[in-house]
Structure 1
Amino acid sequence: MTTSTLRSSNYTALQPLADTEFNFFRQWLFQNSGITLNDSKKSLVSGRLSKRIAKLGLGSFSAYLKIIRSGDKEEAQVLLNILTTNETYFFREHKHFEFMQSVILPDLKQAGKVSVWSAAASTGEEAYTVALIMADAFGLHGPWSVTGTDINTEVLSIGQRAIYPIEASVKIPESYRKKYCLKGKGKDQGLFRICGELRKQVNFTQHNLMQPYAGTERFNLVFLRNVLIYFDLEEKKEILRHVMNSMTPGGWLLVGHSESITGYSERIKQYQPGCYRLIS
């Protein structure tokens, strides 16, 4: 018997994800994160869960569903990680960073310590983009810090390591690459890492945006970009309340270019599209 024949005889293809199973997983995600998945996300959920089911040696989506229903906390975090991984890259929506350099940082020059929050940090590219700009403006050891948070523990661990494919560095201006990025050699060829001194200024921690921020720090600038699109209106407003309560008076808030929070609260005022300021 050939290897291919043996594999095919032991392999049972998964039955398609049933609507009832999909509804369970999206309701579970909403209850645990506040994120809403519409019907168009069914194939994405199916694809991501199929890989996990295969790794566990399970034969069906219903078998995996039973594990989640059993209250397995470790697997619940794995599922949360699977369903909340999103695209990010260095200097994404670069106009925000131009605005940060030309308007926000000059405004914060007299603030003493400047604290920045990357509220949906994913694998850390946004947080380190901010850190590169802060180091250039205030010095590598200046009175500033960046906090990156995400509900997904797997992506946070990537951010903490700060090791990325070399292809990701093309978005970083050359002057920053030379100062703050270390190119891998030998077994690390094809990778680069953010330098240790810059990494010390960036902290990553798990946080659910549907909950109040647990830290005592108050932020002068918050990046809340390309995340509100995954929430319904009431959840968006609740997240915004939590974020505003974690900001300093007059603090700045940036959302994605395709997002708008105008009219969500009287406590913020739009400065320009995607850029807001806390006024009370």
Structure 2
Amino acid sequence: MHAAVLSDDEFNQFRTWLHLTTGISLSDSKKALLAGRLSKRLKHHGLSSYSEYFRLITRRTDAAEFQIALDLLTTNETYFFREPKHFDFLRGQILPKVQAGKKFRLWSAASSTGEEPYSLAMTLADGLCCTSWEIVASDISTRVLNKARTGQYDIDRAHNIPQSLLAKHCLKGTGTEEGTFMVERNLRSHMQFMRINLNTTLPNMGEFDVIFLRNVMIYFDRETKRQVVARILPFLKSGGYFIVSHSESLNGITDILKLVSPSIYRKP
């Protein structure tokens, strides 16, 4: 069987479906990436065209394959303590002002394989020694959430973790686990991982003191950004902080939040 070729019409079918399902907008330059990521699924099912695979996932008769396609087409690049100024702000400006006796809640709304929420957990564990806290970490991809729940990573992923935090909160793998490290159990006990599609009605999760929504809105068009932020903002407490990536801005997206510093906003 010859390898299937993704036509422009087929690419547009997938592009429209992905936008309607997740809010993610694919540019024309992503055609080869889409074809490459889905080609193995065509081979797996013995299909001769991308149109056949599109019919398979959009009929929704195979929920598992629908999720596999979503997982393959959502971008999950991440690493520990990415954009460190945000962690500095959390540590230096937010945590010292937390009221004792109240549980501090943080939502990592595009958590990928867990590096961001675990970086946040290490920061909270050190900065809130006498205050209870919890982190909700969500993503649209079940595959990356399953990886995150394990809390286990290749040792080369640890290079951005400060040595003091690595020693305090992580365990080095030995024997068959050599070459890996694991976030220690007590830290993981503060985490709740949830599959959430930001492009649909959100579940009731209560209010949060801080919401991280980083490196995801770059994949949304302006109207989708407005809709996603509008869905999320009711979950942010008055006085709470909303943090996006340094490459992102909420200018023209919402007038509810007030800019504190580049990429950091506060709800009045």
Residues 135 and 142 in structure 1, CA contact (< 8 A), matched pair in contact too: no
1:38 shift after superposition: 1.1
For 1:32, the equivalent position in structure 2 comes to 21
1:64 shift after superposition: 1.4
For 1:117, the equivalent position in structure 2 comes to 107
1 CA distance for matches of 2:159 and 2:142? 26
Structure 2, unpaired ranges of 5+: none
Are 1:92 and 2:87 matched, yes or no?
no
For 1:188, the equivalent position in structure 2 comes to 177
Distance 1:111 1:105, change over 3 A: farther
- Structure 1 or 2, whichever has the larger Rg, is 1
Residues 78 and 113 in structure 2, CA contact (< 8 A), matched pair in contact too: yes
For 1:214, the equivalent position in structure 2 comes to 203
Residues 71 and 142 in structure 2, CA contact (< 8 A), matched pair in contact too: yes
| TM-score (normalised: structure 2) | 0.95
Residues 262 and 270 in structure 1, CA contact (< 8 A), matched pair in contact too: no
> Helix, strand or coil for the counterpart of 2:251?
coil
Residues 184 and 193 in structure 1, CA contact (< 8 A), matched pair in contact too: yes
Q: 2:168 aligns with which of 173, 176, 179?
A: 179
> Partner letter of residue 274 of structure 1?
S
Q: 2:187 aligns with which of 198, 221, 225?
A: 198
Question: Comparing 100-109 with 224-233, which one deviates more in the overlay?
Answer: 100-109
For 2:124, the equivalent position in structure 1 comes to 134
Residues 180 and 198 in structure 1, CA contact (< 8 A), matched pair in contact too: yes
For 1:240, the equivalent position in structure 2 comes to 229
1 CA distance for matches of 2:216 and 2:26? 13
Are 1:107 and 2:97 matched, yes or no?
yes
Question: Comparing 167-176 with 12-21, which one deviates more in the overlay?
Answer: 12-21
- Identity across aligned pairs (percent)? 42
1:241 shift after superposition: 0.9
For 2:2, the equivalent position in structure 1 comes to 13
Residues 224 and 256 in structure 1, CA contact (< 8 A), matched pair in contact too: yes
**Once the two structures are superposed, what CA deviation does each residue of 1:191-237 show, in whole Å capped at 9, x if it has no partner?**
11100110000110011112343123211001000111111111101
Structure 1, unpaired ranges of 5+: 1-11
Query: Counterparts of 1:66-85 in structure 2 under 5 Å?
Result: 66-71=55-60, 72-85=62-75
> Partner letter of residue 67 of structure 1?
L
Q: 1:252 aligns with which of 225, 241, 253?
A: 241
2 CA distance for matches of 1:275 and 1:125? 20
Residues 95 and 128 in structure 2, CA contact (< 8 A), matched pair in contact too: no
> Helix, strand or coil for the counterpart of 1:30?
helix
Question: Comparing 160-169 with 56-65, which one deviates more in the overlay?
Answer: 56-65
Residues 85 and 155 in structure 1, CA contact (< 8 A), matched pair in contact too: no
> Helix, strand or coil for the counterpart of 2:159?
helix
Residues 88 and 122 in structure 1, CA contact (< 8 A), matched pair in contact too: yes
1:69 shift after superposition: 3.3
**Once the two structures are superposed, what CA deviation does each residue of 1:69-93 show, in whole Å capped at 9, x if it has no partner?**
3323221111111111320000001
Residues 122 and 159 in structure 1, CA contact (< 8 A), matched pair in contact too: yes
1:111 shift after superposition: 7.3
Are 1:58 and 2:47 matched, yes or no?
yes
**Once the two structures are superposed, what CA deviation does each residue of 1:166-199 show, in whole Å capped at 9, x if it has no partner?**
1001111111111111111111111111001100
> Helix, strand or coil for the counterpart of 1:159?
helix
> Partner letter of residue 140 of structure 2?
I
Aligned residues: 267
2 CA distance for matches of 1:189 and 1:127? 24
| TM-score (normalised: structure 1) | 0.91
